[in-house]
Amino acid sequence: MLLCLEIIIKLLKHFVLVSTNTKSASKLSRKAELFFLKLNLFPSVPPTTDEHKLRNQRISTRLFIFFLFISLSILFLYNSLINITETINVKAPSIKEYSQLYNSYSQTLTCECTQISINYEEFIQIQYTLHQVCRSDFVTQEWIDYVANSYGNDGTFYDTFRTTGTFVFQALSTLCVLVDQTISNSLTQFYSSQYVSEFVTPENVFQLQTDAFISQFILSTTNQFLLSLSMIRKTTQSNALLSGQLTNYRFYYNLDSSLTTESVRYDDCTCTSSATCIEQYTVINYPNFTQVFPLPGLYIGCYIIESLLQSNLKCFYDQVCIDTVQLYLGSSTFINVTALDISLSIQYLENSTIADILDELMVEEWNSSSIYDNYYSECQPSGCSYTVTTKNSAIYIITTLTGLVGGLITVLKLTVPMLVKFARKCMHKEVKTEAGKR
């Protein structure tokens, strides 16, 4: 560095102090040429008058300046053109700042969470609406009692709606309660599950993951309920258990006081051959036992649950049908019962069987949401970091060159004179050798 200042000072002394008003351009040019020809950065101590040594010193000076210029130029170009990767840290960014960072640096952005495990209930909400029958008059105790008391003075006949209809609505009500309890219990377990992430999950990935969690919850809850129901049905059927309503077997007293049983027949099917035998419910006109009103979509069978699963709610979407049922039930008073509204149903039809409805867990609609803001707030990232590819700044380049120039000058000052001296010595020997041969 001092050597560069020395050269600059010499130039100033030689040119700047010379008035340009009194010197022509050509004279100034000759003076500059003479200066560079005589410039010597490697003078001996004490100064020598040996022309050979002076020539070595001047050649060394020119080579030194040339190599210094080339070296600095290469270093300057290299530091100016290379791409560098810079890591930038952002402390505790807000969700808005994080979104902006992710939009710009999604490939390299990482934000470490302060809390790595978060309960689902903090950011996932699941609500559901059961089939409207579960909120209707037909599963209320008032309706069940109404049907139960309607045949009190009409005797007993096992295949009529007036004798077993009350159990149908009890079973339907029980299914609604069981489904609701199953979903509620499953939600409690689901909400207590934990979402584990060491780093902040991007919103688009988070949304896909939570959608998958919710879908898996609905599927597993449905399968769990249907599996339990199927196991109960198969256990009942395989063991040929007696129905409490005597809908699969009937008892008869013989004249000799012995007791016999007889399998109940429904149409052309007997309960000994199949537990799923059914026939349509009918209202019987006493005392001649004539069928006066078949109930659309409702069936009786070997077991209440089996016939219910094969039934549908078509009659209960029709106010006329409901009023007719009440008329033939023979009760002294009518109760106000409102028909189901098919327009309120999103995915079920009037003729959808109870089994079809149960396959969807009797849910009319699932309403779920995942709140990313809540997740981000629970995660509480302590900081974010990302990398960018950029060029070196001018300050960095100047600082780097300044730091290298001292060492570069030292190396060149040591090597260039030795190199010149050695090269000229070799050339001098070659000249003497050729002269001797001549």
The torsion of the CA quartet 205, 211, 214, 220, rounded to 10 degrees, works out to -100
The pLDDT assigned to 20 comes to 47
Instruction: For tokens 């010595």, name the residue.
Output: 425
Nearest Cα neighbor of 245 from 182, 183, 162, 158 is: 158
Q: Which parts of 336-393 fold into alpha helices (H)?
A: 354-359, 372-379
Q: What is the mean pLDDT of residues 87-98?
A: 92
CA distance 29 to 136: 110
DSSP code string of 32-60: HHHHHHH--SS--SS----HHHHHHHHHH
Three-state secondary-structure class, residue 263: strand
Q: Are the beta carbons of 217 and 188 closer than 8 angstroms?
A: no
Q: Taking 60 as the threshold, does the pLDDT of residue 170 lie above it?
A: yes
CA distance 91 to 382: 6
Choose between 404 and 136: higher pLDDT: 136
Q: Taking 70 as the threshold, does the pLDDT of residue 176 lie above it?
A: yes
Where are the domains positioned within the chain?
Answer: 2-83+395-437, 124-370
Tell me the CA distances in angstroms from 208 to 63, 299, 354, 409, one per residue in order.
67, 44, 33, 62
46: left (phi over 0), alpha (psi -120 to 50) or beta: beta
Share of the chain above pLDDT 70, in %: 85
The torsion of the CA quartet 91, 97, 99, 102, rounded to 10 degrees, works out to -50
The reported pTM is 0.72
The pLDDT assigned to 86 comes to 82
CA distance 314 to 352: 8
Residue 352 has what DSSP assignment?
-
Q: How many helices (H) and strands (E) does the chain have?
A: 12, 13
**88 strand-pairing partners:** 386
Q: What is the mean pLDDT of residues 279-295?
A: 77
Each residue's pLDDT tens digit, 185-218? 999 999 999 999 999 999 999 999 999 999 999 9
CA distance 438 to 435: 5
Min mean pLDDT across 59-73, 166-180, 262-276, 358-372 is at 59-73
- Average per-residue pLDDT in the chain? 84
Each residue's pLDDT tens digit, 236-253? 888 888 888 888 888 887
Instruction: For tokens 């020539």, name the residue.
Output: 55
CA distance 46 to 44: 6
Q: Taking 70 as the threshold, does the pLDDT of residue 268 lie above it?
A: yes
